[in-house]
Amino acid sequence: MNLFIARLNPSTKTQDLHKLFTHYGLVTTVKVIFDHSTGKSKCYGFVEMPNNNEAHEALQELDNTTFQENLISVRESQPQDDRGMPAEVRRATGTPSWKDNDRQQLRGTSTVIVKPLRDDLSRRNFGYRGSNYHGSV
């Protein structure tokens, strides 16, 4: 089972999460996610545990507990969307889900101006600059 851990301390390392979750059972992979451009932690990570019972126990015991001075949240990880982004990450970063055509998330956050396509293409120059060729419609 893959677990999503949110609200990590920015100083949390992969080894710290590994040590925390091995108390509950075997851990196969641990990832703390870092920003590529700044190198700073994005304050969330993933832990994969092969035994579902151990993973559920860790989830129940560690959800809403303090770890390295932060109140962490532990959830079961959801499958990735069509852009390869887990649902938890999309919610945490505020990235809208275009897969579901969920435009409700965008209301009130920004204004998008969409220019209509020009119906009159006769004025557009389809040739190279100075050719005086305007194409046919």
Give 58-70 pLDDT, tens digit per residue: 999 999 999 999 9
The helix (H) or strand (E) run that includes residue 42 is: strand 41-48
Q: Torsions phi, psi of 18, nearest 5?
A: -60, -45
> What range does the domain containing 21 cover?
2-77
pLDDT tens-digit readout, 44-53? 999 999 999 9
Q: Output the CA–CA distances (angstroms, integers) from residue 84 to 53, 56, 88, 129, in the order listed.
A: 27, 25, 12, 43
| 83 part of a folded domain | no
Task: Quote the percentage of the chain above a pLDDT of 70.
Answer: 58
Q: How many domains does the chain have?
A: 1
Asked if the model's pLDDT at residue 78 lies above 90, the reply is: no
Q: What is the pLDDT of the chain when averaged over all its residues?
A: 77
Q: Which residue has the higher pLDDT, 110 or 72?
A: 72
| 103 part of a folded domain | no
Tell me the CATH number at 16: 3.30.70.330
